[in-house]
Chains A and B, each alone.
Chain A
């Protein structure tokens, strides 16, 4: 956001962790900070800790591979060492990390560059992997072991790292050059306290979902039970590389606008608008000023609060081209469907990718995919897989905007049952993926997407579009089943009717039956298309009601 200009300062970001950490670095140790915030960082309990460690490492690997335009191949290994202690080993084929940077990236909290740019990426605060290192250090006392190699002719560097919990600086326990067969890549090994459990919130399920959302990546995973899973890539096409952009005027809030005005180096309001925002040219800037009743030549720092309010009004009145979508890279309908097909067995698949929209000046794209039928249970609520920037969200499903959008969508027309205010029930998996420069989460733990109206609206539109396709499939399936049922009614009734008719007429039963079967065969279409049937049925039902109403004592049914 506004911080693009002044790299390194965190005061323009309203992220509590960052502020807290930067202010208090000298006063409290990072160990203390970690203890205080472990629930925000994903280390609330031992089970979640295992997931978080794997997740942070895998996210980093995927981001690194994509930046280097390398098809990711990530090897994940978890080894049980007894007494709730596990060794987690994650190895990628990314570009590697230059020797100088290794200690900072792995053993210094809040180190990284993504925090200050408008660009879609998995990790955001540079806190993830170093937090995992710190967690290992605090629970087992063992250092993180890192291997890195940046080229075929380069040596591999091996580090054993601790974090100095007083100064938040890397402490190098060991450092040496080693031989490593890989051309490029990074490998990290951490010993941590953890529990391994299967289920919806397990590492197994996280990796499966990651494979769905990243069909260009291959994962080779060995779990603590020594079971190996290979999630092979479904495409050799890398996702389009996201680029950094400036904020879009729509939705930039008063507070952010004030900060931007304060920090800008532009001399006039007009140049402020054209230079600090995307999609604003001189004409648009003039239109905004006219709409706001402000002089374009005003100095930005002269704008007082009432002016800024007017400016925001002016922006709302002006038609501005939608934000550039370069900065985000949606999965795409085709690949999302491919990813789902390889990991979920079902009968029907569909995917919808919406056009980019904007919330608070930040572009985002919602994508939805559905897999219906197969062996999925039909009497359970639909299975929801949520993603933010291709990262699976495994916790806090109930608090997520995606879940809310599903609940608020009427699923009955699409052939699913649904009670008021509840998830629909049926053999369905729904994938909702949000990609954005800055996906808004409800908390720092990044587990649920916040309920922004723009995001809810887009999600619902995507669900409806995919739902309509699902509905036509489900209804068609039902129609075919109905037709088959109808045919089978006649097939079963014919012998009975033939029997009775033979009784009455003395004509041979087989002869009647054969003739009727022939007629059924010939008339299948006639039977299916026999709309009249329903009409007559309705009339009969009606007269039956009349009869019910009228038969009081009148009859003598004995």
Chain B
């Protein structure tokens, strides 16, 4: 490279760590990793001021593959951990990564509460409609007739509607993305991170090992036919009547994000102790 060339502060490559992913070749999460790095570069995020928090599952391995701070915590609780972090360190950019199992099953209640709280963070769920890490059990978004060892013949249960649940619970930004379009996904992530409050991005990310049928997704996805709305009911109706493959930003809300009530200037502890004195 000639010295005359100007370099951007951070290129996407700067956000990758030197740790090699253990994901199966062909896994959609490789593209999602790419999207993260592109989005972070576009936003010129400082790696030392960015934290990626995850739970357990294939998608949750992502923090170690990035050069930011990261937390690979316990199953299903990444949003709670990220909440404690962001509320006490509002200066950090916090992105939470999860999968359909970690996020919608064991993590279900935390998902709903996080949408309600509308704290400024971005939640990216890599949805492959299966529990990949533990070898192929159905997840809350698996089709009812999908045959597995733990549920022979399929669960017979209606799949979870994460985007609609997010809307009903108060998320401020809702989008669906597809790992096979890393640039589009990166753009969506940029907007999600920029949007104040709780942003939720569901990334359809095929599992090549346990859901080889998902290779078909690249032929099924299509851009959402209409631009995002700021009416949650309208957005919910659109999502509940779509084919599950509308890609794009589906909702941009205007809720005021969570505001800390901490005093700007701390009092002396002795002031508190006065209440105990007779």
Whether A and B are associated in the same complex: the answer reads no
**Which residues of B are in contact with A by a Cβ distance under 8 Å?**
none
What is A's interface to B at a CB cutoff of 8 Å?
none
